[in-house]
Amino acid sequence: MRKLVLISFLLLFAAAQSFAQSRTINGTVVDNTNQPLVGVTVSVMESQRSTQTDVNGKFKVDADNGQTLRLTYIGATTVNLKVDAQTKDPVIKMETGNNSLNDVVVTGYQSQRKADITGAVSVVNVKDVASIPTGNIMSTLQGRVPGVTITNDGTPGGVGTATSIRGITTINNSTPLYVIDGVQTRDNIATLLNANDVESIQVLKDASSAAIYGTQASNGVIIITTKKAKKNETRINFDAQTTLQQFHTGIQMMNAQQWGDTYWQAYKNDGQKPNHDLYGNGDVPVIPEFIDSKKTIRSANTNWANQVYHNALLQNYNLSVSKGSENGSSTFSFNYFDQDGLIKNTNFTRFNGRVNSDYNFLNNRIRVGENINISKWNEKVKPGGIEELAIAQHPIIPVYDIFGGYAGPTQGIGDKPNPVRLLDQQKQNRMDQWRIFGNTYIELEPIKNLVYRSAFSINYRTGFSSVFEPKWKEGDRTVDKNTLSTTSDYDRNWIFTNTAAYNFTVRKHSFNILAGTEAKEYIAENLTGYRENFLIEAIDYRYLSAGDGKQTNGGIASRNAINSYFGKINYAYNDKYLLEGNIRWDASSRFGLNNNAGVFPSVSGGWRVSQESFLKSISAISDLKFRASWGKNGNDQIDNEATYTKYLTNLIRAGYDIGGINQGTIPNGILKDRTGNPNVKWETTTQTNFGFDLSMYASKLNFTLDYFVKKTKDMLIDRPYIAIIGEGGYTAYNGASLSNKGFEGVLNWRDNIGKDWNYSLTLTATAYKNRITSVPEDIYYTFGGGNGIDRTIVGQPLGSWLGYQTNGLYTTQAELNDGVTQQGKGLGRIRYVDTNGDNVINDRDRVWLGSDQPKFTGGFNVSVTYKSFDFAFFVNGMIRDAYNNSKFYTDFFQLWTGNHGTRLLDAWTPSNSGSSIPALTAVNLNDEARTSEYFIENGSYLKLKNLQIGYTLPMAIAKKARMKNLRVYLQGQDLLTITSYKGADPEGLGYPYPLPRLFTFGLNVGF
């Protein structure tokens, strides 16, 4: 590695020698809006000498009077400047037009012009999502970035948003790496980033663009840059948003009478006389006045969804102040975000403060700065499983009994707790956290274009949670013990990064070289306390010392560290042929000392065909570039201590009352926890990418398409083992492999009609296929849901369902005589398919039934402006299968004694023979809860995700009011869903925190 560093300096030295002749021109290049232009090629036509402008748009080139400077920049009109005696420090303006190719894209440790990029990098159009209310910027990008899958739920603050890039790369943690202003993290960005602060987002998708992050890059890298002050501008911005959130994804459940009727019918179908503990045993079900023997719980007709969900408010306020000058700039921003959840008593409140500043000295040869975010957030979380409970709870149960206490289930109606009690109990629990996130840096530029940068980053989180379980009574279930559990914890994470970069141009050859080192340490520790018996339950007494009962405590810690060296070289010939190489060497504490290092190389190339003379004549094509890349990335998201064999003391699993004393201190025992594997190594992902970028009709049309093949091998899995080895036999090892192959593209058209109408249409599409490609022999038939006998997950997508095929229902006697032995078969019962042809339905008939991985995802955004009005809408969707597990409640009376869906009212009967819903029965003789095609539905959907309309005060009027701008807007989120999925929401399968429908009013003012 050091050699590479030395080589880079030798090169630098050689280049430096070529200076110091004739006279030096110090120029600056700016765009239409007087912002510096980076990466403009400045060449002296006569001498073939050439250079590029730096981040401040400045360049330095030697030229004699009479020679001509030629400034070229993609999409801009070339400027020729004759050097004469008067030419001193020229400021040159270039008309860049409406072209994104010149956008500077922040890639690993550096920035590049988009036109020069050879990997697969998506640049997010942050403007499109800027006014969508969210605590987590990623949540707004769903369907807008090709190749990026974002799953949202309604958890306040966007805490439940998950992102994956180009399929499921690993069975381990597949969160991408976030790099926020140069600080790497995998923490939930809802807790460290104010969406209003975001200036740009870049997604590094292929191996070559991410390879500079080495072992951390397998899952892709998302680079986020926050807003900084612009040169010579002072700005105050204020944003306010108020949002109403509505619950809109309920499932139609039965009322108390329908439930009784269904029960009666089910028993009649079984040839039994209906007899229910509450509804009596008459000819028809009778709702009793009370549902308990003590007559304290009046029967009701409760819609539990109404008790759990409510309309909720989201508020978001943001104030930022920035000031830029020649020698430095500073920005302060403050954000207050407060979102109540659809589920009662849930909330996320966050306060963010960000400060960044940078200053330069010695004629910009030294630059120092920092970018620090401080956030404080509180969460009120939901009781676990409350969403399912809202469906499952029986409607005959009231919320309260006649004394105002909580009512609960009695007989024959399940044993689920009262959701309202759970919600009330959760209300006063505390979860407060603070985080300091950011870095400070120094940049030295001892000679022109050689930049040495040293940055120290921290990510320090500290949290406190207090969970109190009061005494409670619900129906006849009583708990007369209260308990308090508190946890205090911290994560301390630091990164020390040192890089040197040098770029230079020799004739038509331009080079950009980077070398660096990085060290990183992560430490986490917690302390927990638990106590029972609090005499007084009031909120101010919920501290451990106020209790007087049993108390316990606990604490654990974890640590890992990485040491790295990396280098990168970019080469371009005549703006036409592009080549990039990356290499990173990482050593991690997660792996044994003898085997802890890995090397991750990548190469990529680009050919800007549009620069070739044969295409230059075709004026319709503004730009055409073909790209190809190959590289290796790693994944280190495994147990910190996988290399060690561990034993632990564990009172719960190994303690024993050997003295037979029944109460008091019992001796502790030791058990084996894990078996170490000193030879574990990284997961590696090898990815090949082919793509092209096409820009036509003066950049009105932009089209990017990528094809990728991504192969992950040596996935770290816990080796299952033969049981006779006993507990603690699990050992991490490099086992399974999988692959993802797919296409992703984005097509954009923007134009104007007349001078008042502007519009832009953007279509994104992603299609990929995930497949497990190999699994070790000993778990070939068991890993990933195999049947253990002859069905393996190999060849199937991860998460595939193994189950029974179905062939509708048995509807006629003739069908029943099909000669297949299916225990419990009967009219109106599900007809399972005898896939192995042995005429018996048993677990050998289970086959792979697919998975819920999306086959296609896409988004379509339209934005239109007319004079001062702007209008936009966004539609996204997905094609996939879904396993609708709510059918357990909605379609099968026999599986559960709580509530059921109204779909059951349409169950099959000889007279309702068109129904596909199995006949009502009270006994599950046909075992219909088994995993089968019956539960699998078309889970595809199309959603009107966002619709907004805004009005911006015309400049002239705004100026009079001493404002720079004023915009007001209205918008709606999740407004319409088109789907045939029968569950709650095809976007969130299972029972996630439901996504709200949002209506927002917002305001931005700038001074």
Residue 669 as a binder of other proteins (CB under 8 A): the answer is yes
Enumerate residues 6+ apart whose C-beta is below 8 A from 329. 228, 229, 230, 231, 322, 323, 357, 358
Instruction: Name the segment binding other proteins (CB under 8 A); options: 84-92, 308-316, 783-791, 996-1004.
Output: 783-791
- Residue 653 CA: distances (Å) to CA of 649, 658, 673, 729: 9, 14, 11, 16
Of residues 574 and 668, the one with the C-beta less far from other proteins? 668
Among 359, 361, 573, 647, binds other proteins (CB under 8 A): 647
Residue 526 as a binder of other proteins (CB under 8 A): the answer is no
φ and ψ at 827, to 5 degrees?
-65, 135
- Closest approach of other proteins to the CB of residue 528, in Å: 10
Among 400, 721, 759, 951, binds other proteins (CB under 8 A): 721
Contact 497, 515 (CB under 8 A): no
- Closest approach of other proteins to the CB of residue 482, in Å: 9
Of residues 606 and 634, the one with the C-beta less far from other proteins? 634
Number of residues that bind other proteins (CB under 8 A): 117
Among 207, 314, 500, 514, binds other proteins (CB under 8 A): 500
- SS3 readout for 73-112: CCCCCCEEEECCCCCCCCEEECCCCCCHHHCEEEECCEEE
Among 620, 723, 814, 956, binds other proteins (CB under 8 A): 723
Residues 540-559, one symbol each (x = binds other proteins by CB under 8 A, - = not), give ----------x-x--xxxxx
Of residues 723 and 814, the one with the C-beta less far from other proteins? 723
Helix (H, G, I), strand (E, B) or coil at 841: coil
Residue 601 as a binder of other proteins (CB under 8 A): the answer is no
Of residues 326 and 843, the one with the C-beta less far from other proteins? 843
Both tokens of 957, joined, read 């009027």
Residues 410-429, one symbol each (x = binds other proteins by CB under 8 A, - = not), give xxx-xx--------------
- Closest approach of other proteins to the CB of residue 645, in Å: 6
Instruction: Name the segment binding other proteins (CB under 8 A); options: 354-362, 575-583, 661-669, 740-748.
Output: 661-669
Of residues 562 and 772, the one with the C-beta less far from other proteins? 562
Q: Which of residues 953-992 bind other proteins (CB under 8 A)?
A: none
Task: Please give the Cα distance from 27 to 599 (Å, whole number).
Answer: 41
Residues 343-372, one symbol each (x = binds other proteins by CB under 8 A, - = not), give ------------------------------
Of residues 708 and 832, the one with the C-beta less far from other proteins? 832
Total residue count of the chain as it appears in this document: 1007
Task: Please give the Cα distance from 24 to 589 (Å, whole number).
Answer: 51
Helix (H, G, I), strand (E, B) or coil at 69: strand
- Closest approach of other proteins to the CB of residue 679, in Å: 15
Q: Which of residues 724-753 bind other proteins (CB under 8 A)?
A: 724-727
Q: Please, is 839 exposed, middle or buried when counting C-beta atoms within 10 Å of its C-beta (0-12, 13-18, 19+)? A: exposed
- Closest approach of other proteins to the CB of residue 4, in Å: 10
- Closest approach of other proteins to the CB of residue 834, in Å: 15
- Closest approach of other proteins to the CB of residue 488, in Å: 16
Identify the helix (H) or strand (E) that includes residue 305: helix 304-308
Among 66, 384, 667, 954, binds other proteins (CB under 8 A): 667
Both tokens of 93, joined, read 């303006």
Task: Please give the Cα distance from 46 to 477 (Å, whole number).
Answer: 93
Helix (H, G, I), strand (E, B) or coil at 994: coil
Taking the alpha carbons of 767, 167, 631, 202 in that order, is the dihedral positive or negative? Answer: positive
Within 115-202, residue ranges assigned H as helices are 126-129
Task: Please give the Cα distance from 321 to 315 (Å, whole number).
Answer: 20
Of residues 2 and 88, the one with the C-beta less far from other proteins? 2
Residue 833 as a binder of other proteins (CB under 8 A): the answer is no
Residue 388 as a binder of other proteins (CB under 8 A): the answer is no
- Closest approach of other proteins to the CB of residue 844, in Å: 6
Residue 593 as a binder of other proteins (CB under 8 A): the answer is yes
CB-CB neighbours of 230 under 10 Å: 17
Q: Please, is 129 exposed, middle or buried when counting C-beta atoms within 10 Å of its C-beta (0-12, 13-18, 19+)? A: buried
Among 23, 82, 646, 959, binds other proteins (CB under 8 A): 646
Among 925, 957, 976, 978, binds other proteins (CB under 8 A): 925
φ and ψ at 465, to 5 degrees?
-130, 145
Instruction: Name the segment binding other proteins (CB under 8 A); options: 301-309, 425-433, 509-517, 756-764.
Output: 509-517
Q: Which of residues 424-463 bind other proteins (CB under 8 A)?
A: 446, 452, 454
Of residues 509 and 559, the one with the C-beta less far from other proteins? 559
Work out whether strand 551-573 and strand 806-809 pair parallel, antiparallel, or are unpaired. Answer: unpaired
Contact 713, 682 (CB under 8 A): no
Among 313, 651, 955, 957, binds other proteins (CB under 8 A): 651
Work out whether strand 91-93 and strand 23-30 pair parallel, antiparallel, or are unpaired. Answer: parallel
Among 230, 576, 844, 855, binds other proteins (CB under 8 A): 844
Identify the helix (H) or strand (E) that includes residue 126: helix 126-129
Of residues 250 and 788, the one with the C-beta less far from other proteins? 788
Instruction: Name the segment binding other proteins (CB under 8 A); options: 36-44, 107-115, 570-578, 925-933.
Output: 925-933
- SS3 readout for 580-629: EEEEEEEEECCCCHHHCEEEEEEEEEEEEHHHCHHHHCCCCEEEEEEEEE
Q: Which of residues 865-924 bind other proteins (CB under 8 A)?
A: 894-897, 922-924
- Closest approach of other proteins to the CB of residue 468, in Å: 14
Of residues 563 and 865, the one with the C-beta less far from other proteins? 563
Enumerate residues 6+ apart whose C-beta is below 8 A from 657. 666
- Closest approach of other proteins to the CB of residue 184, in Å: 15
Task: Please give the Cα distance from 58 to 64 (Å, whole number).
Answer: 19
Among 84, 283, 480, 540, binds other proteins (CB under 8 A): 480
Work out whether strand 856-866 and strand 757-774 pair parallel, antiparallel, or are unpaired. Answer: antiparallel
Instruction: Name the segment binding other proteins (CB under 8 A); options: 73-81, 370-378, 720-728, 868-876.
Output: 720-728
Task: Please give the Cα distance from 718 to 782 (Å, whole number).
Answer: 13
Enumerate residues 6+ apart whose C-beta is below 8 A from 694. 621, 623, 624, 625, 701, 702, 703, 704
Both tokens of 760, joined, read 């832009």
- Closest approach of other proteins to the CB of residue 496, in Å: 6
Residue 481 as a binder of other proteins (CB under 8 A): the answer is yes
Of residues 416 and 997, the one with the C-beta less far from other proteins? 416
- Closest approach of other proteins to the CB of residue 557, in Å: 4
Among 209, 322, 505, 560, binds other proteins (CB under 8 A): 560
Task: Please give the Cα distance from 70 to 505 (Å, whole number).
Answer: 14
Among 85, 362, 620, 661, binds other proteins (CB under 8 A): 661
- Closest approach of other proteins to the CB of residue 990, in Å: 18
Taking the alpha carbons of 897, 903, 904, 908 in that order, is the dihedral positive or negative? Answer: negative
Both tokens of 655, joined, read 């303690």
Both tokens of 275, joined, read 């007899």
- Closest approach of other proteins to the CB of residue 319, in Å: 38
Contact 386, 308 (CB under 8 A): yes
Enumerate residues 6+ apart whose C-beta is below 8 A from 582. 108, 208, 211, 212, 566, 567, 568, 600, 601, 602, 603, 631
Residue 284 as a binder of other proteins (CB under 8 A): the answer is no
